[in-house]
Chains A and B, each alone.
Chain A
Amino acid sequence: MSLVEYKVDKGMFNAPFTVLREDDTADPALMPNISDEDLRALYRTMALTRAFDQRMITLQRQGRLGFYLGSYGEEAATVGSAYALKPEDWIFPCYREQGAYLWRGITVQEMANQCYGNAYDSTKGRQMPVHYSFRHKNIVSVSSPLAVQLPQAVGAAWAAKLRRDPVITLTYFGEGSSSQGDFHVGLNFAGVYKTPTVFFLRNNGWAISTPREVQTASETFAQKANAYGFEGVLVDGNDILAVIVATQRAAEKARNGGGPTLIEALTYRLGAHSTSDDPSGYRKDEDVKVWEKKDPLPRFQRFLAKRGLWTPEWEEELQAEFKAEISTAVEAAEKAPAPAVETIFEDVFSDKPWFLQEQEAELKASLAESKENH
Chain B
Amino acid sequence: MPTMNIIQAVNDALRTQMRLDDRVVVLGEDVGKFGGVFRATQGLQQEFGAERVVDTPLSESGIIATAIGMALYGLRPVPEAQFADFIYPAFDHIVNELAKYRYRSGGQYPCPVVIRTPYGGGIKGGHYHSQSNEAYWAHTPGLKVVIPSNPYDAKGLLLASMRQDDPVIFMEPKRVYRAAKGDVPDTDYTVEIGKAKVVKEGRAVTVLAYGSMVHTAIEALNKAPEIDAELIDLRTIVPLDIDTVIASVEKTGRVVIVQEAPRTAGIAAELTALINEKAFLSLEAPVQRVTGWDTPFPYTLDLEYLPSADRVVQAMRRALNF
Contacts and interface: CB of A to CB of B under 8 A. Distances in A.
B101 A141 contact: yes
Contacts of B238: 353
A154 B66 contact: yes
Given A145-B92, A354-B242, A123 B106 contact: yes
A135 interface: yes
B59 A188 contact: yes
A347 to B, nearest CB: 4
Nearest to A162: B51
Interface in A127-143: 127, 131, 133-135, 140-141, 143
Contacts of A192: 57
A353 B194 contact: yes
Nearest to A127: B104
A155 B73 contact: yes
Interface stretch (B1-9, B39-47, B107-115): B107-115
Contacts of A145: 92, 96
A350 B107 CA distance: 9
B103 A348 contact: yes
A182 B65 contact: yes
B254 interface: no
Interface residues of A, number: 46
Interface in B30-72: 51-52, 56-57, 59, 61-62, 65-72
Interface in B161-202: 164-166, 194
Given A159-B75, A188-B59, A350-B110, A152 B65 contact: yes
B219 interface: no
B121 interface: no
A90 B73 contact: yes
B57 A189 contact: yes
A278 interface: no
B296 interface: no
Contacts of A189: 56-57, 59, 62, 66
B144 to A, nearest CB: 7
Interface string B98-131: 0001111111111000000000000000000000
Contact of B72 (A123, A152, A185, A346): A152
B104 A123 contact: yes
Contacts of A133: 104-106, 108-109
Nearest to B238: A353
Question: Which one of B56, B57, B72, B238 has the greatest number of beta carbons of chain A within 10 Å?
Answer: B72
B239 A140 contact: no
Contact of A141 (B65, B92, B105, B164): B105
B72 A140 contact: yes
A162 B92 CA distance: 26
A185 B97 contact: no
A158 interface: yes
B110 A157 contact: no
A155 B144 contact: no
B109 A151 contact: no
A283 interface: no
Contacts of B67: 155
B25 interface: yes
A215 interface: no
Interface string A109-129: 000000000000111101100
Given A145-B96, A188-B59, A155 B65 contact: yes
Contact of A159 (B56, B74, B93): B74
A314 interface: no
A350 B69 contact: no
Nearest to A122: B106
A151 B77 CA distance: 14
B142 interface: yes
A123 B109 CA distance: 10
B239 A355 contact: yes
B62 A135 contact: no
A160 B108 CA distance: 19
A156 interface: yes
A361 B211 CA distance: 32
Nearest to B141: A348
A151 B142 contact: no
A181 B93 CA distance: 12
Contact of B164 (A151, A160, A163, A350): A350
Given A151-B65, A160-B73, A121 B106 contact: yes
A295 B240 CA distance: 57
Contact of A143 (B72, B77, B97, B107): B97
A227 to B, nearest CB: 14
Contact of B25 (A127, A154, A162, A354): A162
With a 10 A CB-CB cut-off, give which of A140, A151, A160, A348 has the most chain B CB atoms. A151
A373 to B, nearest CB: 24
A124 to B, nearest CB: 4
Nearest to A343: B106
A358 to B, nearest CB: 9
Q: Please indicate which of the listed interface residues A155, A156, A186, A192 has the most CB atoms of chain B within 10 Å of its own CB.
A: A155
Given A151-B61, A186-B62, A349-B166, 8 more contacts: A124-B106, A124-B107, A127-B104, A150-B65, A156-B73, A185-B59, A350-B166, A353-B238
23 contacts: A92-B69, A122-B108, A135-B105, A143-B104, A148-B97, A150-B65, A151-B66, A152-B69, A153-B69, A154-B69, A155-B66, A155-B73, A156-B70, A158-B70, A159-B75, A162-B52, A163-B74, A189-B56, A189-B62, A189-B66, A350-B166, A353-B194, A354-B242
Q: Top 3 A-B pairs ranked by shortest CB distance? A: A155-B69, A155-B66, A151-B65
